Chain A
Amino acid sequence: MLNRALLLVLCFFALTGQRDPILVPEVSQHEVQVRQGFTGTELLLFGAILDPSGARGGRDYDIVVVLKGPTGAIRVREKERIGGMWINANTTDFRSAPSYFAVASSAPVADIVDERTAAIYEFGLGFIQLSPSGTIDPEEQLKFTEGLVDLRRRQGLFKEDMGGVKISEQVLYQARIALPSSVQTGTYTAETFAITRGRVIASAVAEVEVKKVGFERFIELFSQQQAFWYGLIAVSLSIFMGWLAGRVFAMI
């Protein structure tokens, strides 16, 4: 305990004693509109690293960006073969699983920071903090976490891109991160970290709002708030279209 406190104090001095660079992040879009024909989008996360003196960074920096979607509580089920049939057997709950998670870095994370730092800042799909609340057995937890990450990775919702951040002249950086059409709406946070010699020396956050607009928003609200009329319209529409097709084809 004492050691840790001492380390913290040391860190404080080490960090403030040094002249930290300033990180100026920007996102190409602060609002992503989900409307008809939305097939996903690509966000450009860019910015500059500046020395407080105003001169350019000049040192070797590495940049890691983490884009995270709205979190929510989920239940993960695992199928097991019981009596020759695959049925849902075990479950684990996660209290705060992000619906979207993307990491991009200018070099492989393992080369930039040690594993501990990577875990603290969630630099990678292996380090997502999910706060599991079901089983306590760490091995079980790991299995479920890996299952979840693998599933979401194949859905394009979790991704890792080592080398996805381009740094030019040690000043400007940029990263492109794709959002698939199946993203959840809500507030996304894009965190940028500047790292040098294995330490995070500056970080900054930008927010991106993903929301449904226009007709899509209207349909979503309508189905929730006026469920009866929504159902009735769906029924009338199907009867009308069936009837119309009958008439049209009778004429041909």
Chain B
Amino acid sequence: MTHKEPLIEFRDVVKAYGTGEAEVRALDGVDLKVRDGEFVAVMGSSGSGKSTTMNILGCLDVPTSGHYLFRGVDVGELDRNQRARLRRHYLGFVFQGFNLLKRTTALQNVALPLIYRKMPARERNRRAKAAPKAVGLADRMHHSSSELSGGQQQRVAIARAIASDPAILLADEPTGNLDSERSHDIMRLLRKLNEEDGITILLVTHEDDMAEYAKRQVMFRDGRIVSDTGVQLREAI
């Protein structure tokens, strides 16, 4: 898992909404590199640009100017379907609102991205059964998502995100809808996945104690990065 180029690289990324006088810059010249195996927390208050960063990282949105390189590929030059393919093969998403499909069992939710990857049924079943074990939720996989608690739903969502073996797991406020105890459970799970399974994780949060679980904290304010412990660390060495 050694790549010369960073897994993710933002070069002077700007994201602007509106035009002229009404122009609002959600991101205003962001440079960021994330390497394989990292666990990065992107922090900031609401409106700081962290959600926009997440959308661009997730290939759901493209920069107005600047470049977003994923393994050296400029995502800004990809069309909608190419970005969907990139998501399909390299990205795993965990959302604040869990975003599981209703009226669908936990197991089927986990299998969904594998279906889109056109994985053969046997391999798909094997993976869809293995992933829940990694998140400590093997026994309730045949329950419909609405029958699960918030913490359990988020575990299913994490299982769904890692089942396809992504290059990076993008977690957007994964603890935002959970109480403190469940939040810490989820964060410990993410840390375990990073440390033991080597999964690269990028976490967006506004809670300091959640960000503590990550190895590196990047602080956003008004569309710019104001501090980055990874860079400080490297500069210090």
Determine if chain A interacts with chain B: no
Residue numbers of B with Cβ under 8 A of A are none
Residue numbers of A with Cβ under 8 A of B are none
